[in-house]
C-alpha cells in the first residue's frame, strides 16, 4: 500500500555535518531532513498549511487539534542534537494542518479519501521508512524513533507512549515482563538486545528509563521511576498509528521507539523553553544510548576520512524513472577513476567518471550511505552520499 504512489527513484546528496539537502514531498506539504544520527523523529501534528484544494476532514469523528509549536520544537531538537554531536537526526515534518491531513492515523481516517492528502500521507510514511533504513544501515540495530507530539492534558509532564494502555502500566512487573506484554511494546527489540539485560519494566520505569532520565533533568515524565503510571482516566496517550507502524512492535522492524507527547508549559511555550528542553533532550538521548546500547549517538557519523565536506563541488540528485546517472557538479572530473565504498570501507563498485561528469551506480545498489573516493590534484577526496529509492 505504501509504495502505490511512488514510482520515482531519486538520489540525494547528504552533506556531512552541515545539514543535508531537504527532500520535499509534493507541494512541500511533507519535508524530510535526512540526518546521520541513529535517531528518527517525525512531527505529524504541527503543520499550519490549509490549501483550499483539500477539504477539511469530516470522516470518522476526526480530531483536529494542532500540536502547537511542535515543528519549532522539532527544529530546535535537531539543532541541539547537532550542537552536542556534530550530526543531525533524521527529521520528518508534516506541514499540513491537521484539519486537512492527520499523519498519525491510518490512511482512510487520516486523509478521508482526498487524493492530495493521500499523496502526502504516503510521502510522510515513506520518508520515515527511508530514514529508518538509512539509520539502520549506518548504525546497525541501534536506532531510536520518536513520534513527537504535544498534549493538552492538565498535568504538565511528558507522556511517553510505548503502546501500553494506562491500566496496563499498573500491572505487576511479572505481567509486564511476560512475553505477552513485551509483544505489545514499541521497545520490544531493545528488551531483548539491551546491553545490561534489563527487563521490560526497567526500560519503562527503571533508573535509566527514558522517562526517568527526563525527570532527573527537570522534565517530569510518565512512565518513569518518579511517576510509574499515568493513572486511570488521565487521558494518557499510549502511542498511535506511527508508533505501531514504525517501531519493533511491527513485525520485522528493528527500530525501537516511543510516542512522545510534550506538555506545553515549560517545554513548547516559548523559544527559550524549547531551547532549554531541546538541550536536555539531546543529553538524555545520548545517555539513553550509552546506558542501553553502549554507544555514543554520534558514534558512526563522525567516521574519520569522511569529513571532506563539499564546499565548491557537489553531488546533485538526478531524478529518473530507472537507475540514472549521478551527476557531479562543480569541477570537471571526467576521466578520473573512482571507487564507491560502503561506510565500513568495503569497495562496492568502481569505474571512471564519464564525459558529462557523472557516474552510474549498478542496478543492484540498495538504499543507503556510500562514500565516493577519487583523486583530485593529487589529494584523495571523499564524498559521502546517500541513495534513497523505491
Ligand atoms: Zn499529536
pTM, full prediction? 0.80
199 alpha-carbon distance from chain centroid: 25
CA distances from 301 to 54, 90, 217 (A): 40, 12, 26
User: What separation in Å is there between the alpha carbon of 159 and the centre of ligand 1?
Assistant: 11
359 and 258 co-located in one domain: no
CA–centroid distance, 241 to ligand 1, in Å, is 11
Instruction: Assess whether 178 and 44 both reside in one domain.
Output: yes
C-alpha cell at 88: 543531525
Cα of 240 from ligand 1 centre, angstroms: 9
CA of 350 to the centre of ligand 1 (A): 46
Report the separation in Å between the CA atom of 326 and the middle of ligand 1, taken as the mean of its atom positions: 38
Q: Is residue 302 in a domain?
A: no
Of the candidates 37, 25, 42, 12, which has an alpha carbon nearest to the alpha carbon of residue 129? Answer: 42
Q: Classify residue 55: in a domain, yes or no.
A: yes
Burial environment of residue 12 by CB neighbours within 10 A (0 to 12, 13 to 18, 19 or more): buried
Q: How far is the CA of 301 from the centre of ligand 1 (A)?
A: 30
Residues 173 and 278 placed together within one structural domain of the fold? yes
Query: What is the Å distance from ligand 1's center to 229 Cα?
Result: 20
User: From the CA of 10, how far away is ligand 1's center (Å)?
Assistant: 30
**From the CA of 286, how far away is ligand 1's center (Å)?**
24
Percent helix, strand, coil in the chain, to 5, is: 30, 20, 50
Distance 261 CA to ligand 1 centre (A): 7
Task: Give 43 Cα–ligand 1 centroid separation in angstroms.
Answer: 8
Distance 12 CA to ligand 1 centre (A): 30
Are residues 89 and 51 part of one domain? yes
Question: In angstroms, what is the span from residue 215 Cα to ligand 1's centroid?
Answer: 21
User: What is the distance in A from the centroid of ligand 1 to the CA of 66?
Assistant: 7
Same domain, 129 and 70: yes
Residue 306 lies in a domain: no
Cα–ligand 1 centroid distance for 149 (angstroms):
4
- 201 and 338 assigned to the same domain: no
Q: How many angstroms does the Cα of residue 39 sit away from the middle of ligand 1?
A: 19
Distance CA 214, CA 158 (A): 8
The Cα 207–Cα 59 span in angstroms is: 43
Residues 216 and 365 in one domain: no
Q: How many whole angstroms from 67 Cα to the centroid of ligand 1? A: 5
Please indicate, yes or no, if residue 365 is contained in any of the structural domains: yes
Position 18 scores a pLDDT of 33
Q: Which domain holds residue 337?
A: 314-388
CATH number at residue 161: 3.40.630.40
Asked whether 150 and 69 are in contact (CB, 8 A), the reply is yes
| Total of domains in the chain | 2
Centroid of ligand 1 to alpha carbon of 364 (angstroms): 39
Residue 2 lies in a domain: no
Residues 241, 125 share a domain:
yes
Biggest distance spanned by C-alpha atoms of the chain: 69
- List residues bridging with 319 in a β-sheet: 10
Strand pairing partners for 144?
39, 256
In a domain, 64, yes or no: yes
Same domain as 289, residue 191: yes
Give pLDDT tens digits along the chain (390 positions). 333 333 233 333 333 333 346 888 899 999 998 888 999 999 999 999 999 999 999 999 999 999 999 999 999 999 999 888 888 999 999 999 999 999 999 999 999 999 999 999 999 998 999 889 888 887 888 999 999 999 999 999 999 999 999 999 999 999 999 999 999 999 999 999 999 999 999 999 999 999 999 999 999 999 999 999 999 999 999 999 999 999 999 999 999 999 999 999 999 999 999 999 999 999 999 999 999 997 777 776 654 333 333 323 334 333 333 456 676 666 677 888 888 877 666 788 899 888 887 787 777 777 666 777 777 777 777 676 666 654
In 377-390, which positions are buried (b, 16+ CB within 10 angstroms) versus exposed (e)? eeeebbbbbbbbbe
| Distance from Cα 150 to the centre of ligand 1, integer Å | 6
Question: What is the Å distance from ligand 1's center to 95 Cα?
Answer: 13
Answer yes or no: do 286 and 319 share one domain.
no
Query: 245: CA distance to ligand 1 center in Å?
Result: 16
Peptide bond into 223 cis (omega under 30): yes
Q: Which residue is it, cell 583523486?
A: 375
**Do 284 and 319 belong together in one domain?**
no
CATH of the domain at 327: 2.60.40.10
Q: State the distance from the centre of ligand 1 to the C-alpha of 1, rounded, in angstroms.
A: 24
Centroid of ligand 1 to alpha carbon of 77 (angstroms): 17
DSSP code per residue over 25-79: -GGGSEEEE--SSSEEEEE-S---B--TTSPPP-TTS------TTHHHHHHHHHH
- In this structure, are 222 and 352 located in the same domain? no
Closest CA to 87 of 388, 306, 324: 306
> 242 CA distance to ligand 1 centroid (A)?
11
User: Ligand 1 centroid vs 117 CA: distance in angstroms?
Assistant: 17
Could you give the CA distance from residue 316 to residue 328 in angstroms, rounded to a whole number? 6
Question: Ligand 1 mean position to 327 CA, how many Å?
Answer: 40
For residue 210, tell me if it sits in a domain.
yes
Amino acid at each position: 500500500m505504501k509504495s502505490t504512489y511512488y514510482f520515482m527513484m531519486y538520489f540525494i546528496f547528504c552533506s556531512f555535518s552541515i545539514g543535508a539537502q531537504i527532500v520535499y514531498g509534493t507541494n512541500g506539504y511533507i519535508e524530510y531532513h535526512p540526518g546521520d544520527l541513529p535517531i528518527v523523529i517525525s512531527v505529524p501534528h504541527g503543520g499550519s498549511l490549509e490549501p483550499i484544494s483539500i477539504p477539511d476532514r469530516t470522516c470518522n469523528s476526526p480530531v483536529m487539534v494542532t500540536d502547537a509549536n511542535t515543528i519549532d520544537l522539532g527544529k530546535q531538537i535537531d539543532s541541539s542534537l547537532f550542537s552536542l554531536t556534530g550530526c543531525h537526526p533524521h527529521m520528518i515534518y508534516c506541514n499540513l494542518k491537521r484539519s486537512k491531513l492527520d499523519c498519525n492515523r491510518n490512511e482512510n481516517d487520516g486523509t478521508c479519501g482526498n487524493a492530495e492528502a493521500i499523496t502526502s500521507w504516503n510521502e510522510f510514511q515513506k520518508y520515515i521508512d527511508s530514514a529508518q533504513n538509512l539509520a539502520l544501515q549506518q548504525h546497525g540495530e541501534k536506532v531510536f524513533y520518536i513520534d513527537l507530539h504535544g498534549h493538552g492534558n492538565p498535568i504538565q509532564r511528558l507522556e511517553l507512549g510505548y503502546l501500553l494502555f494506562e491500566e496496563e502500566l499498573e500491572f505487576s512487573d511479572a505481567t509486564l515482563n511476560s512475553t505477552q506484554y513485551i509483544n505489545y511494546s514499541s521497545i520490544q527489540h531493545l528488551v531483548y538486545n539491551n546491553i545490561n539485560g534489563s527487563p521490560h519494566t526497567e526500560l519503562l520505569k527503571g533508573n535509566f528509563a527514558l522517562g526517568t532520565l527526563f525527570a532527573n533533568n527537570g522534565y517530569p515524565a510518565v512512565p518513569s521511576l518518579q511517576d510509574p503510571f499515568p493513572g486511570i482516566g488521565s487521558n494518557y496517550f499510549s502511542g498511535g498509528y506511527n508508533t505501531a507502524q514504525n517501531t519493533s512492535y511491527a513485525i520485522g522492524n528493528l527500530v525501537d521507539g516511543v510516542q512522545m507527547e510534550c506538555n506545553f508549559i515549560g517545554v513548547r511555550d516559548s523559544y527559550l523553553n524549547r531551547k532549554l528542553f531541546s538541550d536536555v533532550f539531546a543529553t538524555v538521548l545520548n545517555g539513553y544510548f550509552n546506558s542501553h546500547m553502549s554507544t555514543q549517538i554520534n558514534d558512526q557519523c563522525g567516521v574519520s576520512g569522511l569529513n571532506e565536506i563539499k564546499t565548491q563541488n557537489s553531488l546533485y540528485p538526478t531524478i529518473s524513472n530507472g537507475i540514472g546517472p549521478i551527476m557531479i557538479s562543480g569541477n570537471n572530473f571526467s576521466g578520473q577513476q573512482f571507487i564507491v565504498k560502503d561506510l565500513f570501507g568495503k569497495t562496492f563498485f568502481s569505474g571512471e567518471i564519464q564525459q558529462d561528469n557523472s557516474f552510474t551506480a549498478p542496478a543492484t545498489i540498495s538504499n543507503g550511505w556510500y562514500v565516493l573516493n577519487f583523486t583530485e590534484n593529487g589529494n584523495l577526496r571523499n564524498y559521502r552520499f546517500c541513495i534513497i529509492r523505491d
